[in-house]
Amino acid sequence: MRRTSRVLQKIRKGRVARLCALGSYLPYFPTIAAQAGYDGVWVDGEHKPFDPREIQALVGFHHLADIDCLWRPPTREKAALYRILEDGATGLIIPHVETAGEARALVQAVKFPPVGNRGLDGAALDANYGFAGGGDYPASANQETLLLVQVETPDALEEADAMAALPGVDGLFVGPGDMALRLGCSPAAEEPKMAAVYKRVAAIAARHRKFWGSPALSIGNAEFLIREGAGFIVLGTEYRLLRMGLEQCGAEFDRLLEEKIRPRA
């Protein structure tokens, strides 16, 4: 049997899947995230470098923790994309998808026939190294892996309906940073221009019976996204958590040193 997706299990039950984000090679991060109640980790390979062996190892640590790994790759080369799935990633989040034609090409790359045209191996981690049920493997892989296209520009928003209509595109991922940069506004979900983006994406996803989600910049952002019907939300990154933790420890050091605590004689 191949592993089933925790994110998809939540969404299929009408619940919100919880994701956090990672941009570093931290083997312990998936276990901590799973213990904290997260369903998946969004790993950013677009802006952060990972070599192929690091990808294999980090995805393997996600399997050990039984938590989804959703990888954002820096490439759209066909074999490079489905190799990440063969390494065991639960899904791919593709940045800056601008047109339905681009989304269709991605479906062809990462979904098996009859949905797409992905190459078949069947001897890697995603197929439990050949013990995943033989002929059932391609169909189960199509069902339990995710292809999410990022809607990050006004042009992509205009194409979002056509992209969501495609079989094999499992959901839409709103990228608030790039979208807000192009709209000239704050990336906060409650900002009127961004709120309009989210409402439009939510309506498109509902029309095509697809799910959608986005990073949340705050608890308030997350509340807004939940009210609008997001199927998954990203909240918490290793960078932010490390920064907050070290800033807190630094402030505690400042307090202790300001009090002029002296060692005992």
The residues carrying an active-site annotation are 47
Dihedral angle, C-alpha 3, 115, 106, 210, nearest 10 °: -70
Q: Decide: 103 and 166 in contact? Cβ < 8 Å.
A: yes
Per-residue tokens: 139? 């169909």
**Contacts for 46-51 with beta carbons within 8 Å, 24 or more apart?**
46/72, 46/73, 46/74, 46/95, 47/23, 48/23, 48/24, 50/25
Task: Give me the sign of the Cα torsion angle 221, 208, 96, 232.
Answer: positive
Q: What are phi and psi of 44, to 5 degrees?
A: -95, 95
Which segments of 87-208 does DSSP mark as H helices, in order?
Answer: 100-110, 137-144, 154-164, 176-183, 192-207
Q: Tell me whether strands 171-174 and 211-215 are parallel, antiparallel or unpaired.
A: parallel
The strand pairing partners of 174, in sequence order, are 151
Helix axes 100-110, 78-86, angle to 10 degrees: 50
Per-residue tokens: 36? 């904290």
